[in-house]
Amino acid sequence: MGSLRALVSGVVAGVVVAGMAISPAEARAVPTLVAIRAAHHPGLDRLVFEFRGGLPAQRSAEYVTRLVADGSGLPVPVVGNARLLVRFGGATGHGSAGGITYGPARRAFALPGLIQVVNTGDFEAVLSFGVGVSRKAPIRLYTLKNPSRVVVEIGTPYRTVNVKTYFMNNANFNVGRQPYTKGVVRPVPVSGSAAGALQRLFAGPTPGEAAKWLHFEASHATGFSKVTIKNGIARVYLTGACSSGGSTFTIADEIIPTLKQFSSVKWVKIYDPSGWTQQPAGASDSLPDCLEP
């Protein structure tokens, strides 16, 4: 496998740190991130950061319990059962005019392990990203040249099943043509596949899906604390905030079909962040007041 070549800088299950000696000429230039991409390979997901102007002097990847924005210290929500912090010392992700040079600062991936990559900082030549993954697994970090790339490999030592996540279809909604949602395929771990499908919903569509007018309508929710399934009823507990904004389309229109694809789910009851829903008992779907138009 190509990842086993001598270009590997370091490997551990939880923390990877690498550095390189740089010449005075290279020290004057700050490498600029120009692309982020990822793909699945047997047994792993490979996340690639491509730079113009050489490699960052320092590179690291480690699992963390929470992610905060550099500078402000505010929490950064990243979807996943585990989260990596990837940092580049001596690098930037913006141009002289301030614009981002690598594409969307928050993006989703339709891969078994890798769920989402979110920028958490780009300040004083320190560039960082939060990476949400399905499971905590061994990681590897190494570099490649021509072009300059930093690679983070995330193990996927578990079985997956394909499920669908239903996003708002803006192309149809804008002209009043049903259906207002479209299902897209996501590979998720077999264990906890319903929760995995919801995680992919909150991660949002991939850039390619967004280009086809798919959109995640969050209704101000930032995530869910848990989902339970018992006696044919799925119960989802939202976190953050909750508001329909007067719209007839809300996050409920995405959650309900995403969960009803599972044979064990006949009804879906959605709870607001305070733990309330209109009809907590009985054989029916149920919404909180905040999701009513």
What's the full length of the chain, in residues?
293
Q: So what's the pLDDT on residue 14?
A: 53
- Full domain range(s) for residue 188: 160-291
Q: What is the pTM of this model?
A: 0.89
Assess contact for 248 and 293: CB atoms under 8 A.
yes
169 with 284, same domain: the answer is: yes
Q: So what's the pLDDT on residue 286?
A: 98
Residue where one domain finishes, among candidates 155, 183, 208: 155
Closest CA to 183 of 261, 270, 263: 261
Residue where one domain finishes, among candidates 95, 124, 155: 155
Q: So what's the pLDDT on residue 205?
A: 98
Please list the pLDDT of the chain residue by residue as tens digits (293 residues): 443 333 333 444 455 555 544 444 444 579 999 999 999 999 999 999 999 999 999 999 999 999 999 878 899 999 999 999 999 999 999 998 999 999 999 999 999 999 999 999 999 999 999 999 999 999 999 999 999 999 999 999 999 999 999 999 999 999 999 999 999 999 999 999 999 999 999 999 999 999 999 999 999 999 999 999 999 999 999 999 999 999 999 999 999 999 999 999 999 999 999 999 999 999 999 999 999 99
90 with 226, same domain: the answer is: no
45 with 143, same domain: the answer is: yes
207 with 164, same domain: the answer is: yes
Among all chains, which residue has been given the structure tokens 């569509």? 205
Q: What do you get for the CA distance between the two ends of the chain, in Å? A: 54
Amino acid identity at 170 = N
Q: How many domains does the chain have?
A: 2
225 with 186, same domain: the answer is: yes
